[in-house]
A and B are shown apart, each in its own frame.
Chain A
Amino acid sequence: MHSLCFYRYNYLSSIRGWVVLSLFVWALGCKKESTNQILQSDLFKGFYQPEHFPPIEQPFDVSKINEKSFVLGKRLFYDPILSRDSTISCGSCHIQASGFTHHGHDVSHGIDDLLGRRNALPIQNLMWQKNFLWDGGILNLELVAINAITSPVEMDETLPHIVEKLKRSKVYPQMFKEAFGNEEITSTKMLIALGHFMALFISDKSKYDEVKRSKAQFTEQEQRGYNLFKQYCENCHKEPFFTDQSFRNNGVQQFFSIDKGRYEISLISGDEGKFKVPSLRNVELTAPYMHDGRFPKLIDVLNHYSDGIQNYPNLDPLLVNKIPLNSQEKEDIIAFLKTLTDWNFVRDKRFSEF
């Protein structure tokens, strides 16, 4: 107990130290930079590689991200012009405060109140993803948005029509010019600008991350939860993204008639009902859970793994015997999962709508 207090004291003082130090560094930086760059350091920070993350996976060229293309991408992300009747934007279903998911919606809720089949995935750390969507159908970051934009039950719009609308707009021609050097508006530029915005959604400042950087300490309960997590969950939810990016069937569904999951892409028999292992970063904020949003709370998810799993077809071998967890252990795991919440990220003004 004594040592715990000691650590906590240390943690607080070290935070204080870092704040002072970073303010100092920041002030020094300002002094050196031009006015324009001061503005950048306030509102815009280019892509960076967190030290405890592996190398990026996406071939997307992050060196081309500049403040103007980022701002253009942000404007597009929050602009309902991207939907057929200009009612919904990307940000409608990817809400920052909910870890860029659609709070309270089990499956995607699109134009004309139409419903999709799957739960809106969080947008974060995209440059480290091998592929996108629950079935991994899309390989490139800048191509993901086409899916939602053109889906008849999401935004139901066409790329050429968006380009027409953007060309007619009073603000976009100038913004495209500033971002790309000329006024020509193309869907390729539009998608790349969206990519420039989303590529900077780097969530690396949760308490877990601070512990990894030795700047914070888990509480006793969080540490117990972490140990249990490593024992029972880490096989699939691999650090530091808490996913191994594989496709697995976790036994929630007996029939796959509505959604065959990974099979729809791989066409490999046995892939029916397999879905991408989702990242657990910010999981506290991304309810409801599973590919079809069937579980409203984290405890429901853990109850599924301890008791709910049925030996349905294609069940992942790791789950055949369920996961033996008592209620205390579940609470500990949830306490640990909450250390994955990155408040800095979900409140970052650079990414917010207003």
Chain B
Amino acid sequence: MKKEVRNIFQLLVLVLALSISACKKKDDNNNDQPTPQQPGEVQIHLENRVGNLRFYLNEYYVNENGDSVKFTMFNYYVSNFEFIKEDGSSYVVPKDSCYFLVKADDMESQELHFHKVPAGKYKGVRFIIGVDSLKSAAPLEQRTGVLDPATGAQGMYWSWNTGYIFVKAEGICPGIPDSLQNKFKYHIGLFGGYSTPTINNIKKVELMFGKNVEINSNKNPNIHCYVNPLEMFKTPTKFDVKTQPIIMASPASKTIADNYADMITFDHIH
């Protein structure tokens, strides 16, 4: 009797297992993986830092050229995120939720949220600093949220030259002439032009985690990155803020963009 019950139980388990695998097969056509998992939430934290210290607006820092600079504004766009899977393939974040405007004076904007990232093991993330050319030239209806020229973009949109300011850094350096009120203003944009090619300052970033990170409904990692605003003054070109305090849509913008391309680094996951 006891044996029968056990047999029946085993049979039930078998039926259940088969039905689950059948379901799974139907769902994602991939039956050699372990238990199916639900997508997870991922957060990327972009914390402004100079070396080991937190970066603050309105505080002086010495840059590579030996000049004291303080920032009064440091805003930038990051967009087009892709999470790189263990096998090298990637999960591309949908277009409607892949644009972020990060502002130094807005802590919330430094936390990027990604919803429903498919479960799996990921080894890195790819994105761009700036806004892609397609979006830069898109009709107004497609410019929503942080890309809305009127509201969301908050001074990061050029009214006279289609496109966005990718990185806007303004501040003071006492070495800049008084006639300019010691101010530096770097408004760096340019997506490469639409019909006629021009400078392309879109910068691709790839950050590897150094290990595989699991993402699923139970594991919602926070990827903590550091952003160093002073990188715009160094590597590959040491930059003298005093001689070129104002750069907007000009060839010199390329120097700043090349410099800040490596301003975002991965630090840890928690």
Which residues does A use to contact B, with CB under 8 Å? 59-61, 130-131, 133, 137-140, 142-143, 146-147, 149-151, 158-160, 163, 186-188, 191-192, 264-268
| Among candidates A137, A158, A159, residue contacting B160 with C-beta atoms closer than 8 Å | A137
Contacts of B196 in A (CB 8 A): 266, 268
In this complex, the member of B143, B161, B193, B195 whose beta carbon has the largest number of chain A beta carbons within 10 angstroms is B161
Q: Is the CB of A163 within 8 A of B150?
A: yes
10 A-B interface contacts by CB (under 8 A)? A59-B139, A61-B139, A133-B160, A137-B162, A138-B161, A139-B162, A142-B140, A146-B159, A159-B149, A267-B250
| Among candidates A150, A187, A266, residue contacting B159 with C-beta atoms closer than 8 Å | A150
Contacts of A188 in B (CB 8 A): 140-141, 143, 148, 150
Contacts of B161 in A (CB 8 A): 137-138, 264-265
By beta carbon, the residue of chain B nearest A190 is: B150
By beta carbon, the residue of chain A nearest B148 is: A188
Q: Scan residues 197-247 of chain B and give those whose CB is less than 8 A from a CB of chain A.
A: 198-199
Contact with A along B136-165 (1 / 0, CB 8 A): 011111010000111100000101111000
B148 → A minimal CB distance (Å):
7
Say yes or no for B194: interface residue by CB 8 A criterion.
yes
By beta carbon, the residue of chain B nearest A132 is: B162
Say yes or no for B93: interface residue by CB 8 A criterion.
no
Question: Measured between alpha carbons, how far is A60 from B196 in the docked complex, in Å?
Answer: 20
Say yes or no for B251: interface residue by CB 8 A criterion.
yes
Say yes or no for B249: interface residue by CB 8 A criterion.
yes
By beta carbon, the residue of chain B nearest A133 is: B160
Size category, B interface: 20 to 34
Q: Contacts A147-B159, A188-B150, A267-B249: A140 and B195 contacting too (C-beta < 8 A)?
A: no
Question: Measured between alpha carbons, how far is A131 from B249 in the docked complex, in Å?
Answer: 18
Q: Is the CB of A159 within 8 A of B140?
A: no
A261 → B minimal CB distance (Å):
13
Q: Is the CB of A140 within 8 A of B198?
A: no
Q: Contacts A137-B161, A142-B140: A267 and B199 contacting too (C-beta < 8 A)?
A: yes
Question: Measured between alpha carbons, how far is A130 from B149 in the docked complex, in Å?
Answer: 21
Q: Is the CB of A146 within 8 A of B162?
A: no
A130 → B minimal CB distance (Å):
6
In this complex, the member of B143, B148, B149 whose beta carbon has the largest number of chain A beta carbons within 10 angstroms is B149
Q: Is the CB of B250 within 8 A of A143?
A: no
By beta carbon, the residue of chain B nearest A192 is: B140
Question: Measured between alpha carbons, how far is A140 from B147 in the docked complex, in Å?
Answer: 15
Question: Measured between alpha carbons, how far is A160 from B151 in the docked complex, in Å?
Answer: 7
Q: Is the CB of A139 within 8 A of B194?
A: yes
Question: Measured between alpha carbons, how far is A163 from B151 in the docked complex, in Å?
Answer: 10
Q: Is the CB of B151 within 8 A of A267?
A: no
Question: Measured between alpha carbons, how far is A137 from B150 in the docked complex, in Å?
Answer: 18
Question: Measured between alpha carbons, how far is A103 from B50 in the docked complex, in Å?
Answer: 56
Q: Is the CB of B137 within 8 A of A140?
A: yes
Q: Contacts A139-B137, A146-B159: A159 and B198 contacting too (C-beta < 8 A)?
A: no
Q: Is the CB of B150 within 8 A of A140?
A: no
Contacts of B148 in A (CB 8 A): 187-188
Q: Is the CB of B150 within 8 A of A268?
A: no
By beta carbon, the residue of chain B nearest A130 is: B195
By beta carbon, the residue of chain B nearest A138 is: B162
Contacts of A191 in B (CB 8 A): 140
Q: Contacts A139-B194, A266-B193, A266-B198: A192 and B159 contacting too (C-beta < 8 A)?
A: no
Contacts of B198 in A (CB 8 A): 265-268
Contacts of A186 in B (CB 8 A): 150
In this complex, the member of B150, B151, B249, B250 whose beta carbon has the largest number of chain A beta carbons within 10 angstroms is B150
Q: Contacts A137-B161, A140-B137, A142-B140: A131 and B150 contacting too (C-beta < 8 A)?
A: no
B32 → A minimal CB distance (Å):
46
Question: Measured between alpha carbons, how far is A187 from B152 in the docked complex, in Å?
Answer: 11
Q: Is the CB of B141 within 8 A of A140?
A: no
| Among candidates A130, A160, A192, A266, residue contacting B150 with C-beta atoms closer than 8 Å | A160
By beta carbon, the residue of chain B nearest A265 is: B161
| Among candidates B143, B160, B250, residue contacting A138 with C-beta atoms closer than 8 Å | B160
Top 10 nearest A-B pairs by Cβ distance? A159-B150, A187-B150, A139-B162, A137-B161, A142-B140, A146-B159, A147-B159, A150-B159, A266-B198, A137-B160
Contacts of A268 in B (CB 8 A): 196, 198
A24 → B minimal CB distance (Å):
40
A134 → B minimal CB distance (Å):
11
Question: Measured between alpha carbons, how far is A187 from B148 in the docked complex, in Å?
Answer: 9
Q: Scan residues 175-203 of chain B and give those whose CB is less than 8 A from a CB of chain A.
A: 190, 193-196, 198-199
Question: Measured between alpha carbons, how far is A266 from B143 in the docked complex, in Å?
Answer: 23
Question: Measured between alpha carbons, how far is A218 from B151 in the docked complex, in Å?
Answer: 52
In this complex, the member of A61, A151, A265 whose beta carbon has the largest number of chain B beta carbons within 10 angstroms is A265
Question: Measured between alpha carbons, how far is A118 from B224 in the docked complex, in Å?
Answer: 49
Question: Measured between alpha carbons, how far is A151 from B251 in the docked complex, in Å?
Answer: 23
By beta carbon, the residue of chain A nearest B157 is: A146
Question: Measured between alpha carbons, how far is A133 from B250 in the docked complex, in Å?
Answer: 19
Question: Measured between alpha carbons, how far is A117 from B95 in the docked complex, in Å?
Answer: 39
B133 → A minimal CB distance (Å):
11
| Among candidates A130, A140, A264, residue contacting B139 with C-beta atoms closer than 8 Å | A140
A184 → B minimal CB distance (Å):
13
Question: Measured between alpha carbons, how far is A267 from B194 in the docked complex, in Å?
Answer: 13
Question: Measured between alpha carbons, how far is A191 from B143 in the docked complex, in Å?
Answer: 12
Contacts of A146 in B (CB 8 A): 149-150, 157, 159
Contacts of B190 in A (CB 8 A): 267
In this complex, the member of A133, A137, A142, A186 whose beta carbon has the largest number of chain B beta carbons within 10 angstroms is A137
